[in-house]
């Protein structure tokens, strides 16, 4: 693997998460082709691309900024999963649960990587969510 980002666990996890999103979105109704299907795929792709692009940064602060964009895109996909659930577009709830758990794990890894790179405690950013400490306990798609 010649590129730095290919060695990053968060990049590899984001690629696996993206495959889950594509699998879920492939089952969406055709009238969601240009809306929800497109949105969840673009946001999922953005996670992966921002991790890759940030890995080439000249400074930790710049890479931290790209990781922040990846986190925002990740949260966007989680919101899309909730919309899919609420509109009953995915009758197999297990796929939603698997994707949600993958998002939790990826979020933890992204927040930890960003925290490790951060050279200043005074940056304005969203703190890592407390509820992720209960990984695997909550089921939003029950």
Question: Is residue 107 included in any domain, yes or no?
Answer: yes
| High-pLDDT (> 70) share of the chain, % | 85
**Total domains in the fold of the chain:** 1
Q: Would you say residue 142 lies in a domain?
A: no
Per-residue pLDDT tens digits for 107-127: 999 999 999 988 544 444 445
Q: Report yes or no on 132 lying in a domain.
A: no
The overall pTM is greater than 0.95: no
In a domain, 141, yes or no: no
58: which DSSP letter?
Answer: S
> Does the residue 133 lie in any domain?
no
Model pLDDT, residue 106: 98
* Token pair for 24: 């879920």
Residue 96 belongs to what domain range? 4-118
For the chain, which ranges sit under pLDDT 50? 120-126, 132-134
- Tell me, yes or no, whether 49 lies in a domain: yes
Q: What is the pLDDT of residues 77-95, one digit of tens each?
A: 999 999 999 999 998 899 9
Q: Does a structural domain hold residue 131? A: no
For residues 135 and 108, the answer to whether their CB atoms sit within 8 Å is yes
What CATH number is associated with residue 113? 1.20.1440.60
């Amino acid at each position: 693997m010649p590129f730095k980002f290919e060695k990053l666990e968060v990049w590899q996890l984001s690629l696996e998460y993206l495959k889950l999103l594509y699998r879920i979105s492939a089952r969406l109704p055709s009238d969601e082709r240009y809306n929800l299907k497109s949105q969840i795929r673009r946001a999922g792709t953005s996670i992966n691309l921002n991790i890759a692009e940030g890995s080439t940064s000249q400074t930790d602060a710049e890479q931290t900024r790209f990781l922040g964009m990846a986190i925002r895109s990740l949260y966007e996909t989680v919101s899309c999963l909730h919309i899919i659930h609420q509109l009953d577009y995915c009758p197999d709830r297990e796929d939603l649960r698997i994707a949600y758990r993958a998002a939790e794990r990826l979020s933890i890894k992204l927040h930890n990587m960003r925290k490790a790179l951060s050279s200043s405690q005074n940056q304005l950013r969203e703190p890592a969510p407390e509820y992720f400490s209960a990984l695997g306990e909550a089921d939003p798609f029950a």
